[in-house]
Structures are given as structure tokens and as C-alpha cells.
Homo-oligomer: A and B are copies of this chain.
Amino acid sequence: MSHLQLNKNGELCHFLTLDGLPRALLTDLLDTADSFLEVGSRAVKKVPLLRGKTLCNVFFENSTRTRTTFELAAKRLSADVITLNIATSSTSKGETLTDTLRNLEAMGADIFVVRHADSGAAHFIAREVCPHIAVINGGDGRHAHPTQGMLDMLSIRRHKGDVASLSVAIVGDLLHSRVARSNMQALKTLGCADIRVIAPKTLLPVGIEQYGVRVFSDIERGLQDVDVIIMLRLQRERMQGGLLPSEGEFFARYGLTAQRLKAAKPDALVMHPGPINRGVEIASEVADGAQSIILNQVTYGIAMRMAVLSLCMSGQTARRQQREEH
């Protein structure tokens, strides 16, 4: 599937999944995001890289946070931003999805950021409709959330250095989590020696072994001496009855408390993709504690999205030139 994301030079031209992307490309994204972090700390937080380009947020599923971070990233790159709330727009006039997208294409959109409840929606869009448009997956079903995966890698690298020599634990509802899938893929590609997942059996996806992880159902054993803890959001809105008895019981068995945190290394990082459910998957004192980099992740997220947008756009430009030469 990864060939769909790359042009003939192996440069990124869509960003759909981390599955199959080479390590050098992930490192390139991390390096580029590092340079954009510096832009975010300037008095004038703006560079003209995407001036005159149009980013179109195509959101089939509401997500204020993801939409806002892409909008901010695009504006800091000087792009124009259009937001389509598909639920209430022309599709309700009976137009097909493909027709809607071809129309946006004809209007001269350069980038689609797609958020969809169905796994594979961004792939479908990239394959079917968009010759020169970069498609960015802003989260599709349980499948992938690759910008979140890469901002997590950036967070780890900035606070702990190379992930290869670290122990990283991912804790919580892995079954429903696109964030977990993207993180496991990134960690594996970047050569992380010790990836652990901690969850009750009912919240583990089938085939989790393919990611080269060690599975723990006991959180304190799983956290033993880890360098990084990635807590997952309990996707209450995604859960159907029966998988979990109650939030209270989940917290009692898998919530990250100050006591449990002691099992990890003393300087272990605490991470979470947000928004956090205080007292459900994480205790407030841990979320707000000295080891938490949850808010730093948000800052890094803008820089990583700037990196993804600018690299995909330059990959598309190169691809267009390749086509024109042939």
C-alpha cells in the first residue's frame, strides 16, 4: 500500500498510513518538524512555503481538535484553508462522494485533509480521485492516525533521544485505537527494541503480534522500567456495551496512577493523544505531573502537521514534473 503514498523518487505525496514507510522517510519528517518548531516560537509564526495553495478540510466525522491543528499548521505555512462539513453539505443533495471530491479538485484544491469513521476512507480517496492533490489522513476508523503517530515519535525523540534503545508501553483500549496502530508501526520502523502493550484481552485487536510487541494484561508488570508510557483515550463514544463493565472498573485496573507510575523508570515520560478523560484512563496528578509531556505533544503536533503538509506538497510538485517530462 505504501507505493500509493510515494512518488517515483520515493518522496511522500500522500500521507495515509505509516505502514510500509521507510525509516529514512520517518526520520526526514522528524527533522523537518524540528525545524518548524522553531517557527512556532518566533514572534511572527509564519513562513511562505504554501502561499497560494489551498487546503481543504474534508471532515465526515466531527473533530474540532484535529481540524484546528491542521488549520493552524496550514495558516502558519501561509496556505488558504477551506472547511467542508460533509454531513450538512452537497452530499445531502444526493451527490456522490466521488463527485464532491472531483468538484473540490476542479476548484483547484491542493491538499485534502480527510477524517472519516470508516477505515480505509483516505486510501480510497487518494486512489480514486486525486491526480495532483495530496491526501492527508486525519484519522480513519480504527485504522490509522499517522500524524498523531509521528508527533508522538517527535515527542519521544525531543525528550529521550533515539527511540531504538528505549522501552515504550502503550496502555489502554488498543482494539478501537487508530493512534495505537500508528504508534506501533512507527516504533517498529524506527527500530524500537522493546514495545509493550498493556490492555485487558477484550481490548486487544486480533493479530497484535505482527507489530513485534510484548503483551501484558497486568499494568504494573507491563510498566516495569519503561522509558515512555503512551496512554490511550478510552473511546467511550466508540464502545458498544459488554466490553467494559464500567469506567470505574477500568480505572481501577488500568488507570495510570502515581503509584503505578513508580514501576516505570523515575524519569519516564507520560504521554496521551488527548483529549484526556481525567480519572478514567489517567489520574489528574499524573496528567499534570512533572513527567507528563501531554501539552508539549500538542505543540509538537502543529510542527509535525506543518512537516507533513510541506513534504507532501513538494512530493506532489516533483511528481507533476515527472509526469510532464514523460
Which residues of A are interface residues toward B (Cβ below 8 A)?
40, 42-46, 51-54, 62, 64-65, 68-69, 71-72, 75-76, 80, 82, 84, 88-90, 93-96, 99-100, 102-103, 105-108, 236-237, 274-278, 295-299, 301-302, 317
- Are A107 and B46 CB-contacts (below 8 A) given A90-B65, A275-B90? no
Tell whether, in the assembled complex, residue B296 and residue A106 are in contact, meaning their CB atoms are under 8 Å apart: yes
Chain B residue with Cβ nearest A42: B52
A149 smallest CB distance to B (angstroms): 18
- Are A93 and B275 CB-contacts (below 8 A) given A71-B82, A84-B64, A106-B295? yes
Chain B residues with Cβ below 8 Å from A52 are 42-46, 76
Tell whether, in the assembled complex, residue B107 and residue A302 are in contact, meaning their CB atoms are under 8 Å apart: yes
Tell whether, in the assembled complex, residue A106 and residue B275 are in contact, meaning their CB atoms are under 8 Å apart: no
Chain B residues with Cβ below 8 Å from A40 are 108
Chain B residues with Cβ below 8 Å from A278 are 96, 99
Chain B residues with Cβ below 8 Å from A96 are 278
List 17 additional contacts besides A72-B82, A94-B277; criterion CB under 8 Å: A45-B52, A45-B53, A52-B76, A65-B90, A68-B107, A71-B82, A72-B108, A93-B237, A95-B276, A99-B275, A99-B276, A102-B295, A103-B295, A106-B296, A106-B297, A106-B299, A108-B299
Tell whether, in the assembled complex, residue A302 and residue B108 are in contact, meaning their CB atoms are under 8 Å apart: yes
Tell whether, in the assembled complex, residue A107 and residue B43 are in contact, meaning their CB atoms are under 8 Å apart: no
A166 smallest CB distance to B (angstroms): 23
Chain B residue with Cβ nearest A303: B108
Chain B residues with Cβ below 8 Å from A298 are 103, 106-107
Chain B residue with Cβ nearest A95: B275
A236 smallest CB distance to B (angstroms): 7
Chain B residues with Cβ below 8 Å from A75 are 54, 80
A43 smallest CB distance to B (angstroms): 7
A4 smallest CB distance to B (angstroms): 22
Tell whether, in the assembled complex, residue B71 and residue A299 are in contact, meaning their CB atoms are under 8 Å apart: no
Chain B residues with Cβ below 8 Å from A94 are 236, 275, 277
A298 to B107, CA, bound (A): 6
Q: Which of B76, B89, B297 contacts A64 (CB 8 A)?
A: B89
Chain B residue with Cβ nearest A64: B89
A90 to B53, CA, bound (A): 28
A44 to B52, CA, bound (A): 4
Chain B residues with Cβ below 8 Å from A90 are 64-65, 275
A38 smallest CB distance to B (angstroms): 12
Chain B residues with Cβ below 8 Å from A93 are 237, 275
Chain B residue with Cβ nearest A235: B93
Chain B residues with Cβ below 8 Å from A64 are 84, 88-90
Chain B residues with Cβ below 8 Å from A295 are 102-103, 105-106
